[in-house]
Chain A
Amino acid sequence: EIVLTQSPATLSLSPGERATLSCKASQSISSYLVWYQQKPGQAPRLLIYDASSRATGIPARFSGSGSGTDFTLTISSLEPEDFAVYYCQQRSNWPPYTFGQGTKLEIK
């Protein structure tokens, strides 16, 4: 089973700043990495699939990069609505699909 490790656990930034979130896989997953955003009391929301493809309706300030074992989600300029928990998920080697433990992006 592929283990995904996200860092940092918590990221404290201000609106307008750039956010960089990391996800590392225990073995190569090519580009089969997905990112989600989850706000309190809501289901996860698909942001990025296959490492760098934005899902329908996702703003351009969200971007993803990486391949193999190291991946990054970047939010270029934080909006107030971007403060949430972010999860990565691999779809390369399944079953099972696995998720990271999440990064909480909080307002500084």
Chain B
Amino acid sequence: QVQLVQSGAEVKKPGASVKVSCTASGYTFSNYVIYWVRQAPGQRLEWMGWINAGNGNTKYSQKFQDRITITRDTSASTAYMELSSLRSEDTALYYCARDYTRRIAGIFDLWGQGTLVTVSS
């Protein structure tokens, strides 16, 4: 079964970091790009960055450039998104998604189930 499975919900204090994982199964992980998208309460979907699972190249949204790191472990077919210096506005549902093609097409096809990150003191 082709799917992306994300790690569980997290509660963090302001200023802390969070690392969310996204494990792929049912397809060749290194053939596709993985994107990270978040959805804050009442806000539109927001693209954060991507990683080429094959060569490890990354690209980040300028909004998160200073605080985000996306990595991958090909042996575990898993991508990771780490966001640092968390603030209350980072409270959101974080999704990973695979590209529809084998290129960096920006078409978000296969999605994980989402990971709720709550930032609260």
Residues of B whose CB lies within 8 Å of any CB of A are: 35, 44-47, 59-63, 95, 97, 100, 105-109, 111-114
Contacts and interface: CB of A to CB of B under 8 A. Distances in A.
Nearest to A92: B106
A28 B97 CA distance: 26
A60 interface: no
Contact of B108 (A46, A94, A101): A46
Residues of B contacting A: mostly: loop
Nearest to A49: B107
Given A36-B108, A45-B111, 7 more contacts: A49-B107, A89-B106, A89-B108, A91-B107, A94-B106, A95-B61, A99-B46
Given A91-B105, A91-B107, A96 B100 contact: no
Interface residues of A, number: 21
Contact of B107 (A34, A98, A99, A100): A34
A87 interface: yes
Given A43-B114, A49-B107, A99 B44 contact: yes
A96 B107 contact: no
B96 to A, nearest CB: 10
9 contacts: A34-B108, A43-B95, A43-B111, A44-B45, A44-B111, A46-B100, A46-B108, A89-B45, A96-B62
A43 B100 CA distance: 15
A97 B47 contact: yes
The 9 closest A-B pairs by CB, nearest first: A91-B106, A43-B111, A99-B45, A97-B47, A96-B61, A49-B107, A101-B44, A99-B44, A46-B109
